[in-house]
Amino acid sequence: MPAHLAIVTDSTAYLPQDAVDRHRIATVPLSVVVGDEVLIEGVEISPKDVAEALRAKRRVTTSRPGPETFAAAYRAAAEAGAEGVVSLHLSAELSGTCEAARLAAAEAELPVRVVDSRMVGMALGYAVLAAAEAAAAGRGLDEVVAAAERRAGASRGFFYVDTLEYLRRGGRIGAARALLGSALAVKPLLHLSGGRIEPLEKVRTASRAIARLEEIAVEQAGQAEVDITVHHLAAEERAEPLAERLRERVPGLRDLYVGEVGAVIGAHVGPGLLAVVVSPR
């Protein structure tokens, strides 16, 4: 009989709650630091809270979970009868979360495989779901990890931000730093590449940038069977129409989810974020 495997992720996957509940996915939260106050994402600080703090020009940073938090999650999995854990997390290029998970995994009483998705948001979330589905089908540790890595490797994330300032403050801007000199004159489109945030295109207006984001998502989806997520921060009025247009234009669309990013990613991108994740099945 196949071993029972537990799936652990972190709070930046931004999975729909019904999926978390259905697959019994354990979620380890990251934290947001506003001023001197450390607040747990999804528990003590909401996306609205972080958007308001950023607009008020308060100092906002983020903090990874400590290894002891992961150790507790792995211990709970063992106590619930799991014989192994697959622990999937946001890109190690963006956070020390994977490192903390690996430190805890080395001391765990059961086998723990830590996977750097090299993604974030539902680009990570789809990999978590692939792992959960493989585990539910009775696959072993190696097969579950492989399923997650395949889904993460096939997924693509593209996003628009009103300003690069928040990414600059958080030190997550990478090669997109080259756009800073012309940031007032352009609206940047960015993407996740190699686990890092990289510049994709420069567009002159917000409306053109959002239209281009739509075109890129349609091109990326092609004729394949895909799931799509539209993420936003304090920009539902942009996200919902974009989702409806994608619903009409992507022939192989299976599931489409619209979800606001949480406080941790919100702290780095700022209000006005609009992102599309395209994930082939």
* CATH at 128: 3.40.50.10170
Distance CA(35)–CA(57), nearest Å, equals: 10
Domain end call among 106, 123, 153: 153
Average pLDDT over residues 255-264: 96
Domains: count for the chain = 2
**pLDDT tens per residue, range 36-87:** 999 999 999 999 999 999 999 999 999 999 999 999 999 999 999 999 999 9
* Residue at token pair 């723990």: 112
**pLDDT tens per residue, range 177-195:** 544 444 456 788 999 999 9
For residue 217, the SS3 value is helix
Would residue 48 count as lying in a domain?
A: no
3-state secondary structure 48-88: HHHHHHHHCCCCEEEECCCHHHHHHHHHHHHHCCCCEEEEE
75 and 109 in a single domain? The answer is yes
168 and 252 in a single domain? The answer is yes
Q: Which domain holds residue 101?
A: 5-29+65-153
Predicted pLDDT of residue 188: 82
Q: How confident is the model at residue 199 (pLDDT cuts 50, 70, 90)?
A: confident
Query: Which residue pairs from 96-100 have beta carbons closer than 8 angstroms and sit at least 24 positions apart in sequence?
Result: 96/64, 97/10, 97/12, 97/28, 97/30, 97/64, 97/65, 99/64, 100/64, 100/65, 100/66, 100/67, 100/69, 100/70
Would residue 47 count as lying in a domain?
A: no
105 and 222 in a single domain? The answer is no
Domain end call among 153, 184, 202: 153
Domain end call among 92, 122, 153: 153
Give pTM, 2 decimals: 0.92
167 and 221 in a single domain? The answer is yes
Per DSSP (E only), the strands in the chain are 5-10, 26-28, 31-34, 37-40, 60-63, 84-89, 112-116, 156-160, 187-193, 196-203, 226-232, 253-260, 274-280
252 and 161 in a single domain? The answer is yes
Give yes or no for residue 174 having a pLDDT over 70.
no
Average pLDDT over residues 96-109: 97
Q: How confident is the model at residue 119 (pLDDT cuts 50, 70, 90)?
A: very high
Average pLDDT over residues 213-227: 97
Predicted pLDDT of residue 39: 96
Distance CA(168)–CA(269), nearest Å, equals: 9
133 and 214 in a single domain? The answer is no
Average pLDDT over residues 256-280: 95
116 and 197 in a single domain? The answer is no
**What burial class does residue 16 get, using C-beta atoms within 10 Å of its C-beta: 0-12 exposed, 13-18 middle, 19+ buried?**
middle
CB 266 within 8 A of CB 50: yes
- Token pair, residue 69, equals 């938090």
206 and 265 in a single domain? The answer is yes
Would residue 35 count as lying in a domain?
A: no
Distance CA(161)–CA(189), nearest Å, equals: 7
Give yes or no for residue 162 having a pLDDT over 90.
no
